[in-house]
C-alpha cells in the first residue's frame, strides 16, 4: 500500500531505497540483530546515515536534521523498516536529542547534539524504578543540591542497553515536598561517574537487553540539568510523545508475516489438522496489518495537510504491538517441536540449534516480544489515554 | 491515502446528511418499516430528486460519474440512519451489472428509469444450499426464440417484493458448481409463472422466495460468463456494504459513549469504570481501522486495481468481525435497554448482522482472502 506521492517524493523514495540497498552493512544482517550485534556493529549503519545527513529525520535542520516534510519522514521510515534495517538508537536520536534541542541551553546543545548525531555518545533512559513502572510520577531517585553539583542517589531499572551507554538521562526528585509531578527534574548523567553501577537483567528469552542502574552518591554538575529545576515532568511527557510515534511497525510485521508463511508452508502439511487454523490466523493477522497500515497512511496524509493526529500514536502503539506479539506467537507455534529449543546468548558462542534455520529465532522472538505491550507506556495506559483524550471519559 | 474529498463530494455528503436528518430519523424509519409496503416511495423519490441514483453511473449512461466514491459517501450516511430503501439492490447491484455487462439497448432501456427513481430492482442469485458460492446454480435457462425461459428456485432475494425487475442467475450449460455456464437474465418481477413469497428480514426489510416455471428472461451479458460478472458485482457490493457498516458502527459507538457518560450505577456514571473505558477504546479502534480499510477498498475499486477482489474479501471479513464486535459491545453496554425494540441500538445490531450474511460472511471471506494469496 502506498501513499499517493508527488513525482519529487517518489524520486526521494527511490533514492532512499537505492541507498539502503547499496549501503546497508552485510555484517548487520544476522538472525536477530537486536540481540546478536555488538555495540560497534550496531553503530555501523548509524555512522553511514550520519555521513549521509539522514540520521535524525525528526530534527530541525539547524540542529542537523535533513529538513524533511512529514511525508518524506514517513517515506524514510517506511523504506527503512520494509528493508529490515536496524533503526539508530532511539534513546539518543528520537528521545533525548529532541529534549535537548527543545528545552536545553546553548551550551548543552553544542556539547551533546553533535555527539548524538555522530554516534559518539550512546544514551540510555533512566525513567523506570522498582516502584515506578507505569506510574512514573512517583520516581524516588533523589538529587540534592550541593554547591554547583547534585548528589544523586537511587535505583533505575529496565534500562535498555545501559551496558553500552556513555550517558543516561534521568528523572530525579529535586523537591520531595511538592506534588509528585511537580518535584521532578530532568538530569543528564555521565555513566563513567563514580557511584554508577550497571547490573544486567536477563529476560525470559535469555538475552541481556535491560539492566538495573544503581546511583550511589553520584556527583552531577548543575550544568547537566535540562531546563528548569522541578519542571522535568513536562520534558518527560514531551519525550514520551516522541517515543510512541512510530510504533505501528508495519514494515517489520509485514516481513515477519512473509517469513511465517514460508515456515508454515515448509513445516505444516495441508493434511495436518492444524493447517486450516494457521491459514485463518495468518489471513486474520495480515488483515490486521493492512487495516493498521491504511490507518497510518490516513493519519500521515492528514498530518501532511496540517491536521493534528491527536493521540493516534496510542492507537498505533496498542495495535502495532498486539499484532507483532501475535505474529511471533504464530511463528513459534508453526515450528512445532523445535519451539522447545532456544539459542544461547551471546550467539557468538555458536551453540547447537536443532531444526531448520528459519526457526532458529522463533522462540526468542516469541518470548522477547512479550515486552512490547508493557514498555513505552503499557497498552493499558495507552487505553487510558485514548479514553480520556479522545472519548472524553 | 486519506481521501481528500472534492467540493462536489462534500456537497453530496452534506445534502444526504441534511435530507436524512430532516426526513429519516429513527421514528420516521420505524413507521416506514411498519408500513404495508415496508419501504417509502416518497423517500425513494426524494433520493432520486437529490441525484443519488445518478451519482455513481458514468456520464455515458446519464449518470454523474461519481463512481464507487459517491456510493461510499451515500452508504456511510444510509448506514448511520438505517435506511431500508433498496439503493444497493437497485443502483449498485442491478445498475452496476446493467452498466458493466448490458448491451447498449439494455443500458438505454433500463438505466434512465433507475436514475429517475421510477423502477426498482433486485438481484436473485442465492439458492437453497448455495450458501455464498456464486457458481452454485441449479436454476436453468434454455433458449426459446429471441428469449430464454428460466426454471428453478431462488431464495432469500432481498428487496424482491418491491422490485419491478429481477436479475436472475441461471445455468445455460454445465453442472451445478461449474464456473462456466452460468448466465444472467433480466426478468419482469410480475411475469407469468413467477411465484413470489414475501417475508420480513431481521433488519426491517422484505425479501422473497422465488419460484420460476418457464419464466421468460432477457440475456444480460455474455452467455455462460455470468459468474465473472457476479464476482465483479460482489466486489462493488462489498464496497458499499462496508461503507454502510462503518456508518452504523460509528453511530453505535457514539450512542454507547453517550450512554456511558450519563447512565449512573453505584453512584457514578458507568463510563468511569476502567473496564468499560477500555472496552470503548477497543470499539473506537475497531471503527477507525474499519474506516481506513473501507476507504482503501473504495480507492481500489475506483482505480480498478488488479487485486481488488481479494481486498474486497479481506475487508468484508475484517469489517464484518469488527462490526459484530462493536454491535455486541454496544448492546452489552446498554444493558437491558440494548435488548429493546424501542432503542435504536438493537436495530443497528440487526442491520450489521444482516450485512454480515449478505454476499458471504466474515468466515467465508477470510478463507477466500487466504486462498487468493499468491504467497501462501
Q: How many domains is chain B built from?
A: 3
Which residues 341-370 of A have a C-beta within 8 angstroms of B? none
Does the residue B97 lie in any domain? yes
Q: How far is CA A15 from CA A9, A23, A69, A145, B374, in A?
A: 10, 12, 16, 51, 29
- The pLDDT > 70 percentage for chain B reads 99
Does 3.40.50.620 match the CATH number of domain A7-88? no
User: For residues B83 and B68, what is the distance between their CA atoms, to the nearest angstrom?
Assistant: 19
Mutation for B interface: A287, A379, A380, most B CBs within 10 A = A287
CB B299 within 8 A of CB B3: yes
Cα B65 to the center of its chain, rounded Å: 20
A390 shares contact with chain B (CB less than 8 Å): yes
The answer to whether the CB atoms of A383 and B318 lie below 8 A apart is no
Q: Among A97-111, A195-209, A335-349, B221-235, which stretch is predicted with the lowest mean pLDDT?
A: A335-349
Q: Among A203-207, A378-382, B51-55, B369-373, which stretch is predicted with the lowest mean pLDDT?
A: A203-207
Q: Is the pLDDT of residue A72 over 80?
A: yes
Q: Is the pLDDT of residue B1 over 70?
A: no
- In DSSP notation, A300-328 reads HHHHHTT---TTHHHHHHHHHHHHHHHHH
Q: Is the pLDDT of residue A32 over 90?
A: no
User: For residues B9 and B12, what is the distance between their CA atoms, to the nearest angstrom?
Assistant: 5
Q: How far is CA A35 from CA A2, A86, B18, B74, in A?
A: 31, 11, 58, 52
Instruction: Write out pLDDT tens, residues A181-201.
Output: 899 999 999 999 999 999 999
Domain hosting residue B297, numbered range: 228-371
- The pLDDT > 90 percentage for chain B reads 96
Nearest to B376 among A261, A300, A380 (CB): A261
pLDDT of residue A312: 83
Does the residue B103 lie in any domain? yes
Q: Among A243-252, A277-286, A353-362, B224-233, which stretch is predicted with the lowest mean pLDDT?
A: A243-252
User: For residues A186 and A183, what is the distance between their CA atoms, to the nearest angstrom?
Assistant: 10
Residue B272: closest CA among chain A residues belongs to which residue?
A393
User: Does B197 share its domain with B297?
Assistant: no
pLDDT of residue A349: 47
Q: How confident is the model at residue A332 (pLDDT cuts 50, 70, 90)?
A: very high
A280 shares contact with chain B (CB less than 8 Å): yes
For B255, how many CA atoms within 13 A lie in the half-sphere containing its CB? Answer: 26
User: Does B22 share its domain with B143?
Assistant: no
ipTM for the predicted complex: 0.95
User: Does B82 share its domain with B187?
Assistant: no
Q: How far is CA B169 from CA B119, B176, B184, B226, in A?
A: 20, 12, 5, 7
B376 shares contact with chain A (CB less than 8 Å): yes
Domain finish residue from B181, B199, B223: B223
Instruction: Write out pLDDT tens, residues B98-131.
Output: 999 999 999 999 999 999 999 999 999 999 999 9
- Chain A nearest-CA distance from B293, in A, is 5
Residue A303: closest CA among chain B residues belongs to which residue?
B2
The answer to whether the CB atoms of A301 and B1 lie below 8 A apart is yes
Residue B282: closest CA among chain A residues belongs to which residue?
A383
pLDDT of residue A4: 75
Instruction: Write out pLDDT tens, residues B8-67.
Output: 999 999 999 999 999 999 999 999 999 999 999 999 999 999 999 999 999 999 999 999
Does the residue B376 lie in any domain? no
A378 shares contact with chain B (CB less than 8 Å): no
User: Does B232 share its domain with B366?
Assistant: yes
pLDDT of residue A304: 84
User: Does B130 share its domain with B216?
Assistant: yes
Domain A123-230: CATH architecture, name and number where available? Beta Barrel (2.40)
User: For residues B83 and B38, what is the distance between their CA atoms, to the nearest angstrom?
Assistant: 11
For the beta carbon of residue B176, count every other beta carbon within 10 angstroms.
Answer: 16
CB B209 within 8 A of CB B155: yes
A5 shares contact with chain B (CB less than 8 Å): no
On chain A, the residues whose CB falls within 8 A of the CB of B288 are 295, 315
B34 shares contact with chain A (CB less than 8 Å): no
- Chain B nearest-CA distance from A4, in A, is 6
Q: Among A90-99, A234-243, A310-319, which stretch is predicted with the lowest mean pLDDT?
A: A234-243
Does the residue B112 lie in any domain? yes
User: Does B279 share its domain with B315?
Assistant: yes
Range B314-338 average pLDDT = 98
Instruction: Write out pLDDT tens, residues B249-284.
Output: 999 999 999 999 999 999 999 999 999 999 999 999
Q: Is the pLDDT of residue A355 over 90?
A: no
User: Does B287 share its domain with B354?
Assistant: yes
CB B148 within 8 A of CB B217: yes
Tell me the whole-structure pTM to 2 decimals. Answer: 0.94
- Chain B nearest-CA distance from A298, in A, is 4
CB A171 within 8 A of CB A124: no
Q: How far is CA B273 from CA A109, B254, B280, B327, in A?
A: 45, 17, 11, 20
Q: Is the pLDDT of residue A244 over 70?
A: no
pLDDT of residue A309: 79
The answer to whether the CB atoms of A315 and B288 lie below 8 A apart is yes
Q: Supply the CATH number for residue B106's domain.
A: 1.10.540.10
pLDDT of residue A347: 46
User: Does B188 share its domain with B156?
Assistant: yes
* Dihedral pair phi/psi, residue A5, rounded to 5°: -105, 145
- The pLDDT > 90 percentage for chain A reads 75
The answer to whether the CB atoms of A1 and B1 lie below 8 A apart is yes
pLDDT of residue A301: 86
Q: Is the pLDDT of residue B352 over 80?
A: yes
Q: Is the pLDDT of residue B315 over 50?
A: yes
Q: Which residue ranges make up each domain of chain A?
A: 7-88, 123-230, 244-389
User: Does B366 share its domain with B238?
Assistant: yes
pLDDT of residue A293: 93
Average pLDDT score over chain B: 97
CB A341 within 8 A of CB A355: yes
Q: Supply the CATH number for residue B171's domain.
A: 2.40.110.10
Q: Could you tell me which residues come within 8 angstroms of residue B348 by beta carbon, excluding any fewer than 6 positions away?
A: B82, B248, B251, B252, B327, B330
| Between A180 and B209, residue with greater pLDDT | B209
User: Does B211 share its domain with B159?
Assistant: yes
Which residues 298-317 of B have a C-beta within 8 angstroms of A? 314, 317
User: Does B207 share its domain with B239?
Assistant: no
pLDDT of residue A307: 85
Does 1.20.140.10 match the CATH number of domain A244-389? yes
User: Does B213 share its domain with B256?
Assistant: no
The answer to whether the CB atoms of B284 and A390 lie below 8 A apart is yes
Amino acid at each position: 500500500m502506498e501513499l499517493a506521492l508527488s513525482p519529487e517524493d517518489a524520486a526521494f523514495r527511490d533514492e532512499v531505497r537505492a541507498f539502503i540497498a547499496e549501503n546497508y552493512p552485510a555484517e548487520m544482517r544476522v538472525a536477530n540483530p537486536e540481540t546478536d550485534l555488538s555495540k560497534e556493529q550496531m553503530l555501523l549503519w548509524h555512522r553511514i546515515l550520519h555521513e549521509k545527513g539522514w540520521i535524525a529525520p525528526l530534527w530541525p535542520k539547524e540542529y542537523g536534521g535533513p529538513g524533511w516534510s512529514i511525508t518524506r519522514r514517513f517515506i524514510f521510515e517506511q523504506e527503512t523498516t520494509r528493508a529490515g534495517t536496524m533503526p539508530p538508537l532511539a534513546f539518543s536520536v528520537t528521545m533525548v536529542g529532541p529534549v535537548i534541542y527543545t528545552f536545553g541551553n546553548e551550551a548543552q546543545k553544542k556539547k551533546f547534539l553533535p555527539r548524538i548525531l555522530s554516534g559518539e555518545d550512546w544514551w540510555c533512559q533512566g525513567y523506570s524504578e522498582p516502584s515506578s513502572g507505569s506510574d512514573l510520577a512517583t520516581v524516588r531517585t533523589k538529587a540534592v543540591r550541593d554547591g554547583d553539583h547534585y548528589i544523586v542517589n537511587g535505583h533505575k531499572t529496565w534500562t535498555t542497553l545501559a551496558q553500552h551507554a556513555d550517558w543516561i538521562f534521568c528523572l530525579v526528585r529535586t523537591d520531595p515536598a511538592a506534588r509528585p509531578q511537580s518535584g521532578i527534574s530532568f538530569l543528564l548523567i555521565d555513566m563513567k561517574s563514580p557511584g554508577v553501577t550497571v547490573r544486567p537483567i536477563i529476560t525470559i528469552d535469555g538475552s541481556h537487553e535491560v539492566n538495573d542502574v544503581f546511583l550511589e552518591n553520584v556527583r552531577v554538575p548543575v550544568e547537566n540539568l535540562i531546563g528548569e529545576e522541578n519542571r522535568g515532568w513536562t520534558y518527560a511527557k514531551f519525550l514520551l510523545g516522541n517515543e510512541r510515534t512510530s510504533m505501528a511497525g508495519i514494515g517489520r510485521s509485514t516481513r515477519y508475516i512473509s517469513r511465517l508463511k514460508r515456515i508454515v508452508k515448509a513445516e505444516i502439511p495441508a493434511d495436518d489438522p492444524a493447517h486450516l487454523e494457521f491459514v485463518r490466523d495468518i489471513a486474520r493477522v495480515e488483515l490486521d496489518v493492512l487495516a493498521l497500515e491504511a490507518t497510518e497512511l490516513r493519519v500521515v496524509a492528514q498530518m501532511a495537510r496540517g491536521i493534528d493526529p491527536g493521540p493516534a500514536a496510542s492507537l498505533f502503539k496498542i495495535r502495532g504491538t498486539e499484532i507483532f506479539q501475535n505474529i511471533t506467537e504464530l511463528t513459534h507455534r508453526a515450528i512445532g517441536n523445535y519451539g522447545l529449543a532456544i539459542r544461547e546468548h551471546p550467539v557468538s558462542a555458536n551453540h547447537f540449534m536443532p531444526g531448520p534455520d528459519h526457526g532458529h529465532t522463533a522462540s526468542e522472538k516469541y518470548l522477547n516480544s512479550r515486552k512490547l505491550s508493557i514498555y513505552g507506556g503499557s497498552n493499558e495506559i495507552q487505553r487510558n489515554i485514548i479514553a480520556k483524550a479522545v472519548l472524553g471519559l | 491515502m486519506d481521501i481528500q474529498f472534492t467540493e462536489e463530494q462534500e456537497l453530496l455528503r452534506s445534502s444526504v446528511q441534511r435530507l436524512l436528518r430532516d426526513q429519516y430519523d429513527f421514528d420516521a424509519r420505524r413507521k416506514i418499516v411498519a408500513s404495508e409496503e415496508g419501504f417509502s416511495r416518497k423517500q425513494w423519490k426524494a433520493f432520486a430528486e437529490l441525484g443519488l441514483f445518478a451519482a455513481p453511473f458514468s456520464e455515458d449512461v446519464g449518470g454523474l460519474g461519481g463512481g464507487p466514491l459517491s456510493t461510499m459517501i451515500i452508504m456511510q450516511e444510509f448506514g448511520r440512519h438505517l435506511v431500508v430503501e433498496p439503493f444497493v439492490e437497485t443502483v449498485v447491484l442491478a445498475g452496476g451489472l446493467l452498466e458493466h455487462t448490458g448491451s447498449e439497448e439494455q443500458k438505454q432501456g433500463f438505466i434512465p428509469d433507475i436514475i429517475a427513481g421510477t423502477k426498482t430492482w433486485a438481484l436473485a442469485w442465492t439458492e437453497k444450499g448455495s450458501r455464498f458460492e456464486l457458481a452454485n446454480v441449479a436454476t436453468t435457462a434454455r433458449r426459446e426464440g429471441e428469449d430464454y425461459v428460466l426454471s428453478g428456485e431462488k431464495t432469500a432475494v432481498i428487496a424482491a417484493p418491491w422490485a419491478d425487475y429481477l436479475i436472475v442467475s441461471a445455468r445455460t450449460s454445465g453442472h451445478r458448481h461449474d464456473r462456466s455456464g452460468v448466465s444472467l437474465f433480466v426478468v419482469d418481477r410480475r411475469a407469468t409463472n413467477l411465484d413470489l413469497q414475501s417475508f420480513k428480514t431481521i433488519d426491517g426489510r422484505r425479501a422473497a422466495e422465488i419460484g420460476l416455471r418457464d419464466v421468460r428472461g432477457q440475456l444480460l451479458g455474455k452467455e455462460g460468463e455470468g459468474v465473472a460478472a457476479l464476482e465483479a458485482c460482489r466486489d462493488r457490493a462489498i464496497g458499499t456494504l462496508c461503507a454502510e457498516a462503518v456508518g452504523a458502527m460509528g453511530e453505535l459507538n457514539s450512542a454507547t459513549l453517550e450512554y456511558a457518560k450519563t447512565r449512573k450505577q453505584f453512584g457514578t456514571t458507568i463510563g468511569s469504570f476502567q473496564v468499560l473505558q477500555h472496552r470503548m477504546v477497543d470499539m473506537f479502534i475497531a471503527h477507525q481501522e474499519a474506516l481506513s480499510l473501507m476507504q482503501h477498498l473504495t480507492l481500489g475499486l475506483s482505480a480498478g486495481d488488479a487485486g481488488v477482489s481479494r481486498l474486497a474479501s479481506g475487508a468484508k471479513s475484517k469489517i464484518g468481525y469488527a462490526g459484530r464486535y462493536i454491535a455486541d459491545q454496544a448492546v452489552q453496554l446498554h444493558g437491558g435497554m440494548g435488548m429493546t425494540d424501542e432503542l435504536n441500538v438493537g436495530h443497528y445490531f440487526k442491520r450489521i448482522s444482516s450485512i454480515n450474511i449478505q454476499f458471504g460472511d466474515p468466515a467465508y471471506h477470510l478463507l477466500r482472502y487466504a486462498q487468493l494469496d499468491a504467497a501462501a
